[in-house]
Amino acid sequence: MNQTSIFLVIIMTALSNTAASAALNKLPLCPNSPNCVSSQAQTNDKEHYIEPFKIISTSEDVWSALKETLKSEARTIINKEADDTLQAEVTSLIFRFVDDLHIILDKDAKLIHIRSASRTGYSDLGVNRKRVETLRLKLQQLGLIE
């Protein structure tokens, strides 16, 4: 095999690994610090685990309402969006800390998996958990999730 062929094999392998991990619909893991919540954390991890959103309407209606709700939130910017994944940044008012939101729509399981995490610091004083629960409440009030 010549160098060009080896290079092409390496690129193809990397691309297939990226596509495979995206197809797994996995949220990034939470760090050991208490400034992150995730619906894909272990259920016995009380510090990080938060219930996923259980869809009781159509997936399309919930996904649309979720995006509109995020767009209406102050200092929240959706920076990546696909049919079943979404990433947003939320900037705090005073200190301008940035938190990351990762959201995955699982149509088959009728769930929305969500992760909210601070980029910096150790403790978030419960801000990320409160953010997810506030979003949950808004979607519940619309009759879209349990």
User: pLDDT tens per residue, the chain (146 residues)?
Assistant: 555 444 434 444 444 433 443 446 899 999 999 999 999 999 999 999 999 999 999 999 999 999 999 999 999 999 999 999 999 999 999 989 999 999 999 999 999 999 999 999 999 999 999 999 999 999 999 999 99
pLDDT at position 3 is 58
Please check whether residue 72 lies inside any domain of the structure.
yes
> Beta partners for 126?
none
Q: Is residue 3 part of a domain?
A: no
User: Is the residue at 1 inside a domain?
Assistant: no
Domain around 88: 28-141
Q: What angle do CA 31, 102, 34 make, to 5 degrees?
A: 25
Is 131 strand, coil or helix? helix
Task: Work out how many domains the chain is built from and give that number.
Answer: 1
| Residue 3 CB partners (closer than 8 Å, separation 6+) | none
Write down the pLDDT at residue 49.
Answer: 98
Q: DSSP H helical segments within the chain, as ranges? A: 3-23, 59-72, 127-141
pLDDT at 25: 86
In a domain, 146, yes or no: no
| CATH number, domain with residue 83 | 3.30.310
Q: Is residue 4 part of a domain?
A: no
User: What span, in angstroms and rounded, lies between the C-alpha atoms of 52 and 145?
Assistant: 10
Give the pLDDT of residue 5: 47
22 belongs to a structural domain: no
- Spatial neighbors of 13 by CB under 8 A, at least 6 apart, are none
| Calpha distance 11→19 (Å, rounded) | 12
Domain-embedded: residue 10: no
- Asked if residue 98 is part of any domain, the answer here is yes
Tell which residue, 19, 21, 42, 18, has the closest CA to residue 32: 42
The CB density around residue 8, as the number of other CB atoms within 10 Å, is: 12
